[in-house]
Structure formats: C-alpha cells, structure tokens
Structure 1
Amino acid sequence: MARLTRAQQQERTRAAVLAAARTEFTERGYAAAKVDDIAERAELTRGAVYSNFPSKRALYLAVLVDMVERGAYGPPTAISSSPVKSAAAHAAGGARRRKNAGGKPGAAETTPSISDALGTFARVRLEGMPLADGSPSFAQGQLRETAGVLDDEPFRDAFGQMTHLEALLLALALEAHAPGGAPTSRQVRRAQLVLRLLDGPGTSADAALGDPFDVVQACAHLGALPLGDTWDPPHLPYVPSAQMCQDPWAPPQEARDLITHLPVGFAEDGVVALLGTNRLKAAEEAVRAARAGDRVTVVVATADPAETGRLVRLRAGDVARCLRRVFAPGALPRLRLVLDEHGLLASALGVPDADDTTEYAVRVRQGAIVARAQGPGAAHAAASSDLTTSDVSHTTPDGAAP
C-alpha cells in the first residue's frame, strides 16, 4: 500500500474531525458539544483536533461551511446555470390559479412580482424545516442557531455586519427583478424584514415565527408593503474626495466570487472596496455611487479567517444558494464578493495590514488604479470619483496632486 503524503494525511485527519464534529453537533447542539468527545469519535487526540481547528466555534463553522459548499444542498451551481425553481415559474403558477378561480388575468398576474420572488426565496431558505415534529434538520436548524456562538462582542459585530450584506444582496436581486425589467426603488428595508422573519427574532431557527408555510406567506405579503425606502445617508456629502493616482493594478488571479462561485479576473473597469468584517455595511455605499457599467467588487478582510472568515463564507454561501435558486442569472446582483483570507488582494491594493476595521477603496480603469480612498466613506468616495484622462495624467506616481 502506498504511503500517504503529509498533505494527504492532514486532509484525511481534517475529514475525520469534520465528520465526527457533525455527528456531535447534530446530537448535542453547539453549546453542549465537547471537543474531547469529538476527538474520541474521530479516534484522534484532542491536540489533533486543535491542530486543524483553533477553537470549537471555528470547528462548528467549518462543519456548516462544508455542508453548504460541498453537499448539504447539492453542489454549488454557477451563475450560468438555470435556477432550480424561479420566481417566474411560481408567478406563472399563481396566475393560472387566479385565472382558474375566476380572476381577471393581466400583465400584473403573468409578470413575476416582488411578492412572488420573496415567497419563493422564503421557501428555498426554509427547505428542510419541520412541519410538526419541532426538530429541524442540522443543515437548516443549526445553520442559523446562534445560542452560545455569539458569545463575544467582536464576533457579534461581524455577524451583524454580515446580516446587512445579506440584505443588500437580496435587495439588489429584487431591484433587478422588477416586473417588465423596469428599475424599482431601493429594497433593502424590505429584504431586512424578510431575513429577520426567516431567521426569527433571536436569529435562531428555533425562534422562527410559526409554521414554515405561514412564514413563507408572510414573506410574500411583505412584497406589497409600502416602505418608502430611500438611500440618503447624511454623512456621505462630507466624505473627502478620492485621491487621484495612476498606479499599477496586479491582483491575484485565484480569487473566486462567493455569490456565483466563478473566478474573479478583475479585468473590468469599476470599483474595488476592501472592507473589514466590521465595516461590511459600507458595501452599499459603493453600489449606490457606482456609475452605470461599473463592476463593483467587495473584498472582505479579516484578522481571524478561522472564525469570522468562515462566518462570511457560511452566511454568504447560504444567501447565494437561495438567490441562485430563485432568480434568473440576469437578475442576480452584479456585486461580487470575495473573501481575502490570506491578504493577497489587500497587498495588491497597497494595504498589507488590513484587518476587521479596514475601509479602503479604489477605482480601476484600463488595468490601472486611478483613484484611492480610505477611512469611513471610502467606498462612496472611490465609486463617485469623476476622473478624466487629463486628471489622471497630471498626478505624481505616489498618487498626490502636483
């Protein structure tokens, strides 16, 4: 028998730990699970577990990420594939039901609406939830269970920032999904309400409000709720302008979008915002300020890839799974999301010490960085920068105006 290489042995050990941990967490939940028992299940030492995962929380998140990304709901589907169950199909079925019931069919009945999309999104998000026995599957129940997980303020802050980002992603899909292809108003508040309802007040599957069918219906009804959602943050007019520059842009090529699972080549003109896990709410500032045709990429920086990094992958992977199954590829958010676990993109941007509080953004044009901004409002400043060719050519190499 061929002897395993060190890398193969490490991968086998990691797989054994993940399998044992999944069983332990399924049977006992996060709070009651013990690392010693996980090690015993895997027939390994406690040290072997900690050599692969620095904490119980990191291991718990790794189990969930592994399930989302590698098989709990089937393999990830790239953006080029058709959605499994689209809002359009649901809307068409609803129109047929209304017509058969004596209603008057019309354009509003045959065109997918925001309510249709939200109802479908809710069903996909809650798939696998119980109808009566009160014991959600591990894949769905524990995916949103936070009891004992959010036990320190930095991690709670990162979790809260991720909920803002999830709402933005759902909102952008809803905005692009308007009937007839017409642009619609900001949908972030509506998306926040839907996600709050689906996750429950305690951000836990156990706290979800009522029977899943009732929750789905409530989410659909939220599509018709008039909210008057506008985008007008009071601080943005006072954000310093981006600094003009003409710097080389050589990003690493192995980055992958967490939403589509496709490689990110960074060849397009647009905005790249480097945001720490405690600054993710600023992603919308880049989206709203970007010009038509801009490609907006949010690069997530973290000082703790084992925990907060996995949290980003978990929550982004879950919402992306739902979006891919509900919306047609053309309606998915054009916002790209990249986790910079090893700091390679941060270094390419000139920010080698990026951490959870970083807020830095650049505008890229024709393969060069032509504007830079940092600090609160950086994403807005870079996205709203209006640099002409003459502006760029009259800057010094370090980006300062002469």
Structure 2
Amino acid sequence: MVRLTRAQQQERTRAAVLVAARQEFAEHGYGEAKIDRIAERAELTRGAVYSNFTGKRALYLAVLADLAERARASAEPPARSPDSVARALGAFARVWLERLPLAGDTPGSGHLQLRSLSGVLDTEPTRAALAELVRFEALLLALALAPRTPPRTRTVRLAGLALTLLHGAASLAENAPGAGDPFDLARAAEHLADLAPLDDAEPPHLPFVAPARSTRDQWQAPGAPRDEIDGRPVDLGDDGVVVVLGVCRLSAADEALRSARPDDKVTLVVVTSDPSELGRLARLRVVDLVGCLRRVFAPGELPRPRVVFDDDGTLAAAIGPDPADDFTETAIRVHAGLIVARAEGRGAGHAVATAPSHRYDAADPSRAYPAADPPSEADRVKRRPR
C-alpha cells in the first residue's frame, strides 16, 4: 500500500473539492451553491473544504482559474501570426467567443464557460482589482498586436475597445443565450482597427517621479518562477528591470514598459495581500487571456514582458524593503549580478527603467562607469591586485 505524504493528500483533497465545486456551480450557479453540498459531493467534511479554501467566493474563483489553466494548457499555437492588426483582432475575437453558451446550456454551466464574475465581486477591493486587471489585459493584448514596439496609447485603447466588445457580448449571453452572432462580432472586432484613438502624451505624474537610487547591492535571485505568458522558467538574474506590482497597481506596468530600453528584459511580478481571492482573480484573468493569445499569435509574437505570480511574497521580500500589498510598486534594475538602481512608490517602474545607463567593469562589476566613458585596459591593469 502506497502511503501518501501530507502534501500529496492535501493536493488530492483540493482536487476533489474543485471537481465537486465545479459540479455544484454548474447545477446551481454561484448564488445558490452551498458549501455543505460541495463537501457531500466530494465525500469530505465541511472543515476539509474550508481548510483548502477560505469561502465560496475563493472556491468559485479557484474553479474558474482551474478551467482557464486547462484551456491554456491545451492551446495549440498557430504556425504564424495574423499579418495585420485587423486580422489579429478578428482571430482573437473568434477564439474568445467560443466560450459563449448555447441556448440549451443551464445558467450555471453557461456562467462557468463564460468565466462569469456576475454577482461574485461585491467588495471594494475585488472591484478595484478587476478594474486594474482589465487595463492590464488591454496592455498584454496591445503588446501582442504590436510585438516589436513599446506600448502605444492608441494600440492599448484599441485592445481595450476589443475587450469591451467581447465582454459586452458575454454579458448579453449570460441573460439571453444565443443572442448575438459570433461571426458578426468577430467582423466588428476587425473593423475596430480602422478607428484612430488618440495617442495621448505620457501620464502627467511621470515628470514628478523621483529618480531611482543608484545602488551596488548583490542580487541573489530567489528560485526560477514560471513566466505565465510562455510557460518557461524565469531567470531573475538576467540583466534588466524587475517591477513588483500589487493587483491594484497593475496599470503601472504600461509606463514601465514604455520607459524600458529596447534590449531590457522586463519582469512584472504580481503580488497581493489576499492570495485566496485577489490572487486567484488575477491568475484567472491573466491565464484566461494568455490562453486566447497562444491560439492566435505564434510563440515568438507573444507579449515580451515576463509575468510572474508571487503568491507567497518571496520575490517581493527579496526585492523591496516593505511587505507587499495590493498597492505595492517597487522596482529594481539588475546588471551583472548587482542591483544597480532601486525605486519605490508611484512611478517606481518608470524611474528604474529610465535610470542612467552605465557600463560595468567585467573584472569588477561593483564599479560603474558612465556609458560614454568605459574604463580603459590600463585602468583595469592598475586595479588588479598585485
């Protein structure tokens, strides 16, 4: 007889709860679902359910996130990306609209298929986080539409309009399944490319952001977290910019990416003080969007920034001086194993991305020199120990 470890048993219990909860939500919907019935379906106690999930909302978000993870894992990438923004928007819309429920689906199963949040987010923190996530989704879609350039306001607004169209169609389908023709909606998404939203100037607060502080701190990158966009491990020791953002500050990713240098590797670390609900909400929305992007854009055309979820705060603790919360914004620039610039607070990502460029002595990376004045070989010889 094989004896399971405690971690294996907990994972088995959690999986059983998720299966039972998915059945309960499909039959009764979120509002009428009961934790007691979920426990009975899973042949567990009510306490076993609550030992893995803090409540019904956390459990519902976990079910939706699990569905999104499965969809992303099964996504087949195309051989090449669409050859225009209009075709890309149309292809993305067609993939996204596959989730619309049919007339014969039960309300509960239709809501699960739509990843519906209707009636679920009834607290101010969750609603504020969703608003930031919507902006973040538009940014990621815009980066896929124009993968070789920094995000432009026009493209981000265009992506936001497309997502608004699709979520509007989903909202209608929740109450009137079968309403709205997906092919007409996809064509409408294509025609959005003909619009010309204004390209605004940079956000007005950026000129007042304090410059990043120059540092020479040793950087020990903790672990190799997974990039949620391409699924590969992220080496946080790579030269580039790391920006830690709370779920209620995700829109600041836009200004950090606009300010980054063309050759910078930018890693966006998502943190929260409430991983059971806000963390799962963030994972649901990002994973769901990426699952669609993977079916439309070739792997090399996916958004370039690396997106990492720091559920336990390990990365944030290694980077910033303060505990991470939902409004955190902290950033560092890494070069040659050193943290060479730091910033905290509003505009931190922009401040670090625009920190003055330096070259570093390969023999002694702790010494920094202005980019226009690198050390000569004679200088290096003088500094070598005798």
Q: Do they fold alike, i.e. is TM over 0.5?
A: yes
Matches within 5 A, 1:115-154: 115-130=86-101, 132-133=103-104, 138=109, 141-154=112-125
- When residues 207 and 280 of structure 1 are mapped into structure 2, their CA distance, relative to the original with a 3 A threshold, is farther
Report the more deviating stretch, 244-253 or 129-138: 129-138
Secondary structure at 2:333 match in 1: strand
Does 2:245 match 1:251?
Answer: no
- CA–CA distance in structure 2, aligned partners of residues 290 and 115 of structure 1: 27
User: Post-superposition shift, 1:151?
Assistant: 0.5
Matches within 5 A, 1:161-180: 161-176=132-147
Does 2:252 match 1:282?
Answer: yes
- When residues 349 and 239 of structure 1 are mapped into structure 2, their CA distance, relative to the original with a 3 A threshold, is same
Does 2:321 match 1:323?
Answer: no
- CA–CA distance in structure 1, aligned partners of residues 220 and 110 of structure 2: 39
1:162 counterpart letter in structure 2: L
Checking the alignment, whether the CA contact within 8 Å between 1:144 and 1:203 is kept in structure 2 is no
Residue among 266, 277, 290 paired with 1:296: 266
Aligned to 2:19: 19
Secondary structure at 2:98 match in 1: coil
Matches within 5 A, 1:2-401: 2-69=2-69, 71=70, 73=71, 75=73, 83-84=77-78, 87-88=81-82, 112-130=83-101, 132-133=103-104, 138=109, 141-176=112-147, 186-200=154-168, 206=174, 210-389=180-359, 393=367
- Can you list the C-alpha shifts for 1:44-71, whole angstroms capped at 9, x where unaligned? 11111001111111111111122221x3
Secondary structure at 1:127 match in 2: helix
Q: Which 5+ residue runs of structure 1 have no aligned equivalent?
A: 89-111, 396-402
Q: Which 5+ residue runs of structure 2 have no aligned equivalent?
A: 370-386
User: Post-superposition shift, 1:129?
Assistant: 2.1
Q: TM-score, normalised by structure 2?
A: 0.86
Checking the alignment, whether the CA contact within 8 Å between 1:20 and 1:42 is kept in structure 2 is yes
User: Post-superposition shift, 1:231?
Assistant: 4.7
RMSD: 2.8
Q: How many residues align?
A: 363
Secondary structure at 1:187 match in 2: helix
Report the more deviating stretch, 326-335 or 161-170: 326-335
- Can you list the C-alpha shifts for 1:343-377, whole angstroms capped at 9, x where unaligned? 11112213351111111111111221111111111
Q: TM-score, normalised by structure 1?
A: 0.83
Secondary structure at 2:117 match in 1: coil
1:264 counterpart letter in structure 2: V
2:84 counterpart letter in structure 1: S
1:59 counterpart letter in structure 2: L
- Can you list the C-alpha shifts for 1:239-269, whole angstroms capped at 9, x where unaligned? 1111111111111223111111110012322
- CA–CA distance in structure 2, aligned partners of residues 120 and 382 of structure 1: 36
Secondary structure at 2:252 match in 1: helix
User: Post-superposition shift, 1:126?
Assistant: 1.5
- CA–CA distance in structure 2, aligned partners of residues 380 and 189 of structure 1: 20
Percent identity of equivalent pairs = 55
Checking the alignment, whether the CA contact within 8 Å between 1:87 and 1:116 is kept in structure 2 is no
